[in-house]
């Protein structure tokens, strides 16, 4: 049960940190770190992402942490980094997630320089399956990029990092700018109003980048990048014939269609069949793939660390306060708590995948249909960015818009999501500055 120095663990009680043995640190972000943990009873390994409440409150990220916690409760899919437990103690909020030891696609892209077309196609098929599932759950991810795609030890791809994900509204389009600029769809960055179709555009940018080791849209400033996304024609590199078939090129161009209605994966009535029947996907056995029975063409080298090993050194040198098991104060007085602490206390609720049924926090009073674009004549309300600064590849978000499980009064005061946590947790980032609340703050993971 426990070790010789601690009380026996009560596995019949509500899940807490005492249920886990803490192993190596594998990443850190602005609010906390990511550790490999082992459930003492089942002996199963997980990734533990823990978020320092004080830092979270200081960065005005409370609403986003709660929103991510709620969204993750709704999700369970073979190609997503799923949440298995959630709980808190007096200092931290904890997410216990599927463990992905294969590294993120940014890591492999930088290390390999060239990724064969058949590998990219396989990952794209798995990611398409995950996106279709999310959109059926009425969730837009809004931050598809190589950093947010993790491999397991076998080489299967998984979507992670739901810190800017939202429920989409059936009744009106979203206008808030959220995500990572280089991967944003024209309708997002141009504030034209958008729905779930923006994720398919982002996937197109990811596929292009994985194949050609550069992104299709570029700009040394935010304005130039915005112009490129809205206006520039897509140019393949001169070496395209060596790296990508005609079918692959056509697949990318169909995802990078500026008209969301005709974009691949977005045709009315077709959905994922649009992707599955595309000639580039002819070699994919979808039933085998979705049962996770296909052999991935790329298997990460598990003899090497597939992440930045300096995080362990930090822990060893005690650069920051190490994570320890600590008993909670009994019966905290909610009335005397700061409003943000009280909000975390009440809304970051305990979750146990093996006991709780998954539930949706989305209002059930609207029919479930595909998101429909407004007529061009109708127009849509545009909320001006509160930051006025867009950073090319960091994750950002401005005011929460329709369909969010938060009420608007809560949401509009929390401009930024929690800064990126590292790859294994499902929170990788390039380490660029992150826009929030009109300030610039380093979201570096190193």
Terminal-residue alpha carbon distance, the chain? 35
User: Which structural domain, as residue segments, surrounds residue 201?
Assistant: 105-304+370-442
Catalytic residue among 143, 147, 308, 398: 143
Report the alpha-carbon distance of residue 290 to residue 388 in Å, rounded. Answer: 41
Do 338 and 389 lie in one domain? The reply is no
On whether residue 281 sits in a domain, the answer given is: yes
The answer to whether residue 409 is catalytic is no
Do 42 and 114 lie in one domain? The reply is no
On whether residue 329 sits in a domain, the answer given is: yes
Do 91 and 112 lie in one domain? The reply is no
275: domain CATH number is 1.10.510.10
C-beta separation of 35 from 21 below 8 A: no
In the chain, the number of structural domains is 2
Q: Is the pTM of this model over 0.75?
A: yes
Per-residue pLDDT of the chain (446 residues; tens, 9 = 90+): 444 445 677 887 889 999 999 988 877 665 667 889 999 999 999 999 999 898 889 888 888 889 999 999 999 999 999 999 999 998 899 999 999 989 999 999 999 989 999 999 999 999 999 999 999 999 999 999 999 999 999 999 999 989 889 999 878 899 999 899 999 999 999 999 999 999 999 999 999 999 999 999 988 899 999 999 999 999 999 999 999 999 999 999 999 999 999 999 998 777 789 999 999 999 999 999 999 999 999 999 988 878 766 655 555 444 455 667 667 666 666 666 788 888 898 899 999 988 877 666 665 433 323 333 333 333 333 332 333 234 445 666 554 333 333 333 333 332 233 333 333 333 333 333 223 332 222 233 32
On whether residue 136 sits in a domain, the answer given is: yes
Long-range CB contacts for residues 69-72, cutoff 8 Å, separation at least 24: 69/93, 69/95, 69/347, 69/348, 69/349, 69/351, 70/361, 70/405, 71/139, 71/162, 71/165, 71/166, 71/167, 71/361, 71/405, 72/162
C-alpha neighbours within 13 Å on the C-beta side of residue 79:
24
Angle of helix 246-255 relative to helix 117-136, nearest 10 degrees?
Answer: 30
77: domain CATH number is 3.30.200.20
On whether residue 11 sits in a domain, the answer given is: no
Do 141 and 199 lie in one domain? The reply is yes
């Amino acid at each position: 049960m426990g070790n010789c120095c601690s009380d026996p663990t009560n596995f019949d009680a509500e899940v807490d940190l005492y249920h886990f043995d803490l192993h190596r640190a594998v990443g850190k972000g602005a609010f906390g770190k990511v550790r490999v943990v082992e459930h003492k009873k089942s002996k199963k390994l997980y990734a533990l992402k823990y978020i320092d409440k004080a830092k979270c409150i200081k960065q005005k990220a409370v609403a986003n942490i709660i929103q991510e916690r709620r969204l993750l409760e709704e999700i369970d899919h073979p190609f997503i980094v799923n949440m298995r437990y959630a709980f808190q103690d007096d200092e931290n909020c904890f997410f216990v997630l599927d463990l992905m030891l294969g590294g993120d696609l940014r890591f492999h892209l930088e290390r390999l320089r060239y990724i064969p077309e058949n590998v990219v196609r396989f990952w794209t098929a798995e990611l398409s399956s995950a996106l279709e599932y999310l959109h059926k759950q009425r969730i837009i991810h809004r931050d598809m990029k190589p950093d947010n795609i993790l491999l397991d030890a076998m080489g299967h791809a998984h979507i992670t990092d739901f810190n800017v994900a939202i429920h989409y509204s059936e009744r009106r389009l979203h206008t808030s700018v959220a995500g990572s600029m280089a991967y944003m769809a024209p309708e997002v960055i141009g504030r034209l109003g958008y729905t779930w179709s923006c994720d398919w555009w982002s996937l197109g940018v990811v596929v292009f980048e994985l194949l050609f080791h550069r992104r299709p849209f570029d700009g040394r400033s935010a304005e130039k990048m915005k112009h490129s996304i809205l206006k520039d024609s897509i140019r393949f590199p001169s070496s395209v014939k060596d790296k990508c078939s005609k079918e692959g090129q056509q697949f990318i161009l169909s995802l990078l269609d500026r008209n969301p209605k005709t974009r691949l994966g977005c045709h009315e009535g077709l959905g994922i069949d649009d992707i599955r029947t595309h000639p580039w996907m002819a070699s994919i056995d979808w039933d085998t793939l979705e049962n996770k029975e296909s052999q991935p063409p790329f298997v990460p080298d598990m003899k090497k660390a597939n992440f930045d090993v300096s995080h362990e050194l930090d822990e060893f040198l005690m650069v920051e306060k190490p994570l320890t098991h600590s008993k909670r104060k009994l019966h905290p007085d909610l009335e005397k708590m700061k409003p943000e602490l009280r909000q975390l206390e009440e809304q970051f609720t305990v979750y146990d995948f093996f006991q709780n049924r998954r539930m949706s926090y989305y209002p059930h009073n609207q029919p479930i249909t595909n998101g429909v674009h407004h007529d061009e004549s109708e127009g849509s309300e545009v909320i001006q960015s509160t930051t006025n600064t867009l950073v090319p590849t960091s994750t950002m978000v401005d005011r929460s818009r329709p369909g969010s499980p938060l009420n608007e009064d809560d949401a509009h005061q929390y401009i930024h999501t929690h800064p990126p946590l590292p790859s294994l947790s499902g929170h990788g980032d390039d380490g660029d500055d992150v826009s929030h609340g009109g300030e610039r703050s380093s979201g570096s993971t190193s």
